[in-house]
Each structure stands twice: as structure tokens, then as C-alpha cells.
Amino acid sequence: MSDSVSDCTEPRRSSVTEAEVEALVRGICFKTGPPRFLGVELEWLVHDPRYPRLPVPPERREAAFAALRALPLSSALTVEPGGQLELSSAPAASLMECIGSVSADLDAVRAVLREAGLALSGVGQDPWNEPVRYLHEPRYDAMEVSLGRAGPEGRAMMCSSASVQVCVDAGYEEPGPLGLGRRWWLAHHLGAVLVGAFAHSPMARGVLTGWRSHRQRLWAAMDAGRTDAPSLDGDPRAAWARHVLDAPVMCVRAPSGPWEVPEGLSFRAWTRSGAPPGREDLDYHQTTLFPPVRPRGHLELRMIDAQPGDDGWMVPLAVTAALFDDPEAAETAYRTVKPLAERAGTEPAPRNPLWTAAARDGLADPELREAAAACFAAAAEALPRLGASPGVRAAVAEFTDRYVARGRCPADDLLDRAGDPLAHGTEHLLHGKDVRS
């Protein structure tokens, strides 16, 4: 949810036309070249391990966050609207560089939180508490109004969800397993397999929801213009530019007071109005779009639930990196998920039948289980070529044996207990062994 674009509202220097918007979007959102960098964004819920079902009081949370802001981290640390913490890594030149830097930052963050009697928990949706907004800023005031027009799912997503977001380079301009077109298509079909394999949010407000990834169900139920993927037909740049222009404007920023939250105004219509937007408005507008794969020069894969255990996030990072950046594994993944495209149909992710099955059933779905098994096997073969440590390779193998090979996902552990996923014998779901060595 957090984005690096500032909320500052300096006067617009010049307006942009519809044609200029299309040219700008096409030029900046897909930067091609050999895949060299990798990144990860980790969202975490914050709770008191002694009273995991109770919300942390805002004043106690703020005191801990103030101490965290003083830490010298290599990752960017931000706070989400409901008080979730997010660590966004710097671009790393290798899988192990990314894991090493983020792990060191997490160690420092956890040490500060321990002093405050708090802890991080990796679960895709708060299983107990009502969604309550912690941050009261113009962006989030406007966002809650805008998303709330489509139903309560937007507030729940803002205030109660957490994820593992993996960022990979856009790829080569040329065709092939590492080419832009292939990677863009793969992200939207492999994405359903990743949803199913790593689903970890079967509860909300103390009730089993019937979905392995309730978090993903929230995204699918929200405003389609803001959360749907663009068309996968044709050139990715042209499709994304059209999507940005046709998407609804969430807010019009103001130097003081509440921001305007227009209804039914697309960015295209805004450019044709008597008070058209500026370049900074275009940049800001793109931060208010939340498709499952968001191009930001690189590809941001946003569909994976937060994972159990201190180091559980390393598994989706390692598997995704292998399936995108190792040519042989990327080719295997493409061939594996290609038959799933027919099942997805013409509806966009995340609301098409394939993604719905992944969120509801996880790997209990036979086709998704088969695809996951092939993709995880390809990733395991590729990880040594990417320089993955023995510990990381062992963590992927353990996850494969425990879940993928058995048609399960982390949500199934919580469903087996049908109880408190943050206490009462489930500590192993939150605190895993160190796999970095």
C-alpha cells in the first residue's frame, strides 16, 4: 500500500494532455534490459504476543514506531493505514543479497519491538480484529471514502491485510523466456499458482471465511477499475497506458483541508476537462492503482499473502526469483501454466475463475496443485544457479514437502486447528528457524 510518491501538493507547473499521458506511461512503466535486480516488500501485522486477539493501543504502537524510525536500515520502513509495518528492500543484485539485507533489517526491527513487548506476525489478514485505521492522513482519508463506495472490503484491505510483494525486472525487449511480453503474461498466470501455494488468510474477525486467501478475496471484491489487471492482449505498454487513463481518479490533492474524492471521473476524462491534471498528478494517480501485477519500471507482484514464521517470506521470494530470472525455470513455468490460461478465460485477474479458485481452494484444486508441483520443482533446480544458500534451498524443499506435495497451503494449518492462529500451540507458524546460512 505504501508508495514513495510524496503527498506534497505544490501547485501544478503544467498540465498534461491525453496523448502526453500515454507517452509518459509507456516510457516509464516498463524499463527493459537483462534481469539484474530483485526486491521484496514485506508487510506485517503488529501484535502483543501475550494478548494476540486484542488490538495494540495506538499510543503504545506509536511509541514503538518512533523507536523504529531511528534505526539505520537499508530497507525503507513505512507504516500502513491500519498500523501494519512494511519493509521495502533496496534493489539487490542477487537473491542472497536481498535476503541478507532484509533479514538484518528485520532482526533490528524485531529487537526494538521486543523491548516494547510487541511482535510481528505473518498472516495475510488479521484473524481477530475489526479493521481500524491508525493513520489519519489526507491520502488515507480519501482512499477510505473512494474504496468504501464499492463496499467494506477496501477498509479491511487497508487496515487488516499483509503481504509479501516480490519485485522483478521487466525483462528484455526481445521475445524469449526472459522477454518483457513473456514475463508480463507469466506474472498474471503464475500469479494464481502463487496465490494458491502461499494462501494464508482463512479467518477474519474470528470467523472462518471459506477462503484460503481471504485477503485475495478482498482484492477481487473491490473497485474493478482500481484492482483489475489490464487486458493481456497485445503490447503490455499500450495496455497499461490505456488502463491508467481509464482508471478512476481516487482523489484530487489540495494544499489544505480534505482532498476532493470525485465519483466516476477517469484520468482520461480529467485530461479533457477545463482543469486538467499535471505530471505530478499522473505520478500520484498510478500509486492509487492496485492490480495484482503493477508495472513501476519493474514488475511488482502483489498477490502473495504474508507468510508464517520469521523467515517464511524467503520461500515465495526465492521461488518467484527462480521462476522469473532463471531462463530454464522460466521456460518450465511458462509451459506449466499455459494450460491454465483457458481456465482463466477472458475476465481479468484477480476476479477470473482461475484466480477465484486459487484464493478459495488453494492447492486443494487439482490443476493448481499439479502446476505448483512442477513450478516448485523447477525453482528448486534453479536455486543453486542463482547462488541460493543451503538454508534457503532447504526451506523451499521443506515448504514443498509440507504443503505443495500434499496439496496444501499455510492456510490449511490454521484450518486444521480452527482456532487462534496467533496463539495456543501455533507458535511454530510465527517463529521459524533461521534459513540464511
DSSP string, 222-241: S-HHHHS----SS-HHHHHH
pTM of the model: 0.94
Provide DSSP, 74-116.
Answer: SSEEEE-TTS-EEEEPPPBSSHHHHHHHHHHHHHHHHHHHHHT
Contact (CB, 8 A) for 109 and 71: yes
Determine contact, residues 104/119, Cβ cutoff 8 Å. no
**Is residue 424's pLDDT more than 50?**
no
pLDDT digits (tens, 9 = 90+) for 58-67: 999 999 999 9
Rounded average pLDDT over 109-128: 97
pLDDT computed for residue 423 by the predictor: 43
pLDDT at residue 13, rounded to an integer: 54
Which residues touch 370 (CB under 8 Å, ≥6 apart)?
none
What's the whole-number average pLDDT of the chain?
93
Answer yes or no: is pLDDT of 191 > 70: yes
CA distances from 203 to 87, 154, 198, 211, 302 (A): 24, 17, 15, 8, 20
- Which amino acid appears at position 436 of this protein? R
What element of type H or E holds 138?
helix 138-148
22-38 per-residue burial string, b: 16 or more CB within 10 A, e: under 16: bebbbeebbebeebebb
- Across the chain, how many H-helices and E-strands are there? 18, 9
pLDDT one-digit tens code per residue, 351-393: 999 999 999 999 999 999 999 999 999 999 999 999 999 999 9
Give tens-digit pLDDT for 195-232: 999 999 999 999 999 999 999 999 999 999 999 999 99
| Average pLDDT for 411-427 | 66
Is the separation of the CB atoms in 435 and 314 below 8 Å? yes
Q: What's the one-letter identity of residue 360?
A: R
Give the mean model confidence (pLDDT) for residues 34-38. Answer: 95
How does DSSP assign 183-221, residue by residue?
HHHHHHHHHHHHHHHT--B-EETTEE-S-SBHHHHHHHH
